[in-house]
Structure 1
Amino acid sequence: MRVASAVTVSTLPRGADLAYEPKFDGHRMVVFVREEGVLLQARSGRIVTAAFPDLAGAARRLPAGTVLDGEVVVWRGGRTDFAAVQRRAAATPSRAPALARALPASYAAFDLLAEGGEDLRPLAYRERRARLEALVGPLGPPLQPVPMTRDAQEALTWFGTLHSIGVEGLVIKRVDQAYRGGGRAWRKLRHTTAGDAAVTGYTGPAARPSALVLTLPDDDTPVVSAPLPPALRAQAGRVLAGRTRAGEGTATAAGLGEVAYRPVAAGTTAEVERGTTRHPVVTVLRLRLPEELEP
């Protein structure tokens, strides 16, 4: 199933026809509850049921014919931990149960796409939201509806206070809008200077790069990212497999100066966050898969 997405805005939209939700920093996941069992699908379309046995087990409390859209997060020390979610998503079936015990996942459901086998996507968001709260609200953790408000001032309060627990911004939706899979009908307001950058190379071993070399939209000079967490290193190795080009380049790494790197063929994009300190560091948040780059 292709999921709906959002375009970035720089100021908070206001209007009587809008709803506001906190944007958690996690992994997008669609939950299918069927007579024969639960199926968990990542945004890319990859089936990740085996990596999240705790969420699959919790979803069995829902009636067959339910389809949810939402975000998986892992809470550590009172805030969400994106690197921990990456570890969970990359877990092998043999490692997944132990990781589920060490890093239990939570699922913030923000849309109900089907109930009792009925396709709810053509309905207005306000109707889907009411049915989501009625269905998922009574369950409690680890499955719960994401908070929502129609009050712009309350949304701004969330924006100003929830950043410390890992909420990266707000998602804004029209209450009369149907669910448009594959479209960018929603809007998002983020705290960070996050954006996309072209991946032009990597440092370290090809199978598990230590860092990525990136070209930012406003600067043609390649820069070296901050060190990748383990799950991103493994994913980068898979995504860049077979894309290494001959030769060697040099790029600037914060605090290290010029370092050597291996170039890769064009076509891979990463979502990155640029720091605003005296020596800015570029942190890779996630690699963009081809499906995520479609308009």
Structure 2
Amino acid sequence: MEYPAPLALAQAVSSPPAGPGWWAEPKFDGHRVAIWRLQDSVRLQTRTGRDVTSQWMDLALPAMQLRPATVLDGEAVVYLGGRIDFSAAQARNASRPARARALAELRPATYAAFDVLRHPDEGDVRHLPYLRRRELLLELLEDLGPPLQVVPATDDRETAAVWYEVLLDQGIEGLVWKHATSTYRGNQRIWRKQRHADTLDATVVGFTGPHARPHALAVRLPDGRVALSQRLTSVLATQVGERLVGATTTGRTRTPEGDPYRALAEDGPVVEVLAGSTRHAVVTVVRAR
């Protein structure tokens, strides 16, 4: 496997997928991170391939207990008052190393592992079905314990329904559904995410401001409309900017409401927007995917 690895994605759904063979996992609201246990060190990558080892040293150090040649996929989460705090995880990921170390002292992170891409004995296991990869993941982490933990999973729909309702108070934002036979395919929406949050996936088709730190985004909504977002927070601007650097633009254009923006030659990243805000000309972006 070559570093960084493309990570699998999920498609938003409003209800559990139909048919047999689906397993549900709680959806931890943190920052997507893959852990690479190398021969003599550990590296952590984001979904976009950025190295964030220095931002999550409180996860990198215990990950040295993993066997070399292991690659895990999961979420780096931060708990505040017994509840997962998404903004705390985002702030950590966007911090410089010194600031990240200080935040780790105050708010240590937990790693919610939900998949394995490489196994020290089996090699690249992305071609294996979900249930077999999960068996391997449980074996790898069974003797380690916190802060590296495997997320629970169930194929019982009643249990999944209870999780969906009860775990909300702990900051679990919903469920991720994975089919028992599915292989791991990076950059493809092979899973299904069922969230409490009233959000929609939208595709970035343009922006205002500089590539590296856009001020606002022009997004294409599920119904095909293009609208301009509100001004991005500094964290969101940095995250989206990483994916826009080097993107080709075709010049200035306007939304149907008349808001000007620089159009992308090809579709950009996917972001989540508040569903209620899409009734208006300006939408609210809550996170990048």
- Counterpart of 1:127 in structure 2: which amino acid? R
Instruction: Look up the SS of the partner of 1:231 in the other structure.
Output: helix
Q: Give the Å deviation of 1:263.
A: 2.6
Residues 161, 228 of structure 1: alpha-carbon distance in 2 compared, 3 angstrom cutoff: farther
What's the % identity of the aligned pairs? Answer: 43
Note the alpha carbon deviations across 1:106-156, whole angstroms, 9 max, x for none: 111011223324223333322221232232133222110011112111111
Match runs of 1:192-271 below 5 Å: 192-198=198-204, 200-202=206-208, 212=217, 214=219, 216-218=221-223, 220=225, 222-225=227-230, 228-236=232-240, 263-266=261-264, 267-271=267-271
RMSD: 3.3
Larger deviation: 261-270 or 135-144?
A: 261-270
Give structure 1 stretches of 5+ with no counterpart: 253-257, 289-295
Task: Say which is worse superposed, 125-134 or 38-47, in terms of deviation.
Answer: 125-134
Give the AA of the match of 1:167.
Answer: I
Distance of aligned partners of 1:43 and 1:198 in 2 relative to their CA distance in 1, 3 Å threshold? closer
Partner secondary structure for residue 194 of structure 1: strand
CA distance in 2, matches of 1:54, 1:129: 24
CA distance 1:76–1:36, shift in 2 (3 Å): same
Q: Which residue of 2 is the match for residue 284 of structure 1? A: 285
Matched, 1:108 2:106: no
Please report the TM-score for the alignment, with normalisation by the length of structure 2. 0.79
Over 3 Å counting, the alpha-carbon distance change for 1:99 and 1:245 in structure 2 is: farther
1:98 aligns with 2:102: yes
Amino acid at match of 2:69: G
Give the secondary-structure state (helix, strand or coil) at the position aligned to 1:185.
Answer: strand
| Paired position in structure 2 for 1:293 | none
Aligned length: 279
Given the alignment, which residue of 147, 152, 158 partners 2:163?
158
Q: TM-score, with normalisation over the residues of structure 1?
A: 0.78
Given residue 163 of structure 2, which amino acid in structure 1 is its aligned partner?
A: W
Moved over 6 A (4+): 241-252
- Corresponding residue number in structure 1 for 2:76: 72
Question: CA distance change for structure 1 residues 235 and 107 in 2, over 3 Å: closer, same or farther?
Answer: same
Decide whether aligned partners of structure 1 residues 224 and 47 sit closer, same or farther in structure 2, where only a CA change above 3 A counts: closer
